[in-house]
Amino acid sequence: MSDFESNDSWSVIGLASTALLHELGNHLNRIGLQAFLVQRKVDAALKSDLQVIRDDCKAAAQLMQPIHEQCQDRQSSLGAVELPASLQLSPSVKINADPETVRILFSLLQRALANAEMPPLTSIDAGYVRIRYTIDQTSSSSSEELWEEIGPFQRLSTLERWALQRAMRETAAKCTVMHIEQQVYFEVEWSIL
């Protein structure tokens, strides 16, 4: 992350950490649920062994709870944030988000999509703003593989990709990859205030 100032690095690490904790929580929930389902089917001798797995999953989830609560508190205190002037939106557009998250989101997008057509194509209609980047490559990747497979996102470190994914989630962005006539487009959409 040498391209980022120290302040940005900590913001990226914070966003990436919340993304990681979210995914770990999902895995712990699945492990605990699976142990519960198996526990219902086995004899009494194995039930206590499975209970240890369930208890450990619960204990690990409780360790993450303070961070989860902090993230929820931050989400509940979001406000109107104007999208960057570099998008050349007229009139300016505001979304419900955290200003620091929006700043990091666009900083990471700018790094990842440095070779994309700039400024990106923007449109505002029916309560939404759409920002479409033309990616200078063809790809057969689906949206699920976006962060790992589409070339421009390979410029970002794993932590930066996690941070970008989390920033997208926190700002309620809808991301789409489109393949139209041998060209790849990456579109981000937000509800506007």
Which residues sit opposite 124 in a β-bridge? 129
Residue 110 dihedral angles phi and psi, to the nearest 5°: -65, -40
Q: Which amino acid is at 188?
A: V
Q: Note the CATH number of domain 79-191.
A: 3.30.565.10
At 154, list the tokens: 């390979």
Does the reported pTM lie above 0.95? no
What is the model's pLDDT at position 2?
46
Q: Where are the domains of the chain?
A: 6-76, 79-191
What is the model's pLDDT at position 185?
81
Report helix, strand and coil shares of the chain as percent, to nearest 5: 55, 20, 25
Distance, CA of 122 to CA of 106 (rounded, Å)? 14
Distance, CA of 84 to CA of 110 (rounded, Å)? 11
- Other beta carbons within 10 angstroms of residue 94's beta carbon come to 16
Specify the range with the lowest mean pLDDT, choosing from 77-81, 102-106, 144-148, 179-183. Answer: 144-148
What is the model's pLDDT at position 106?
87
What is the model's pLDDT at position 137?
56
Residue 26 dihedral angles phi and psi, to the nearest 5°: -60, -45
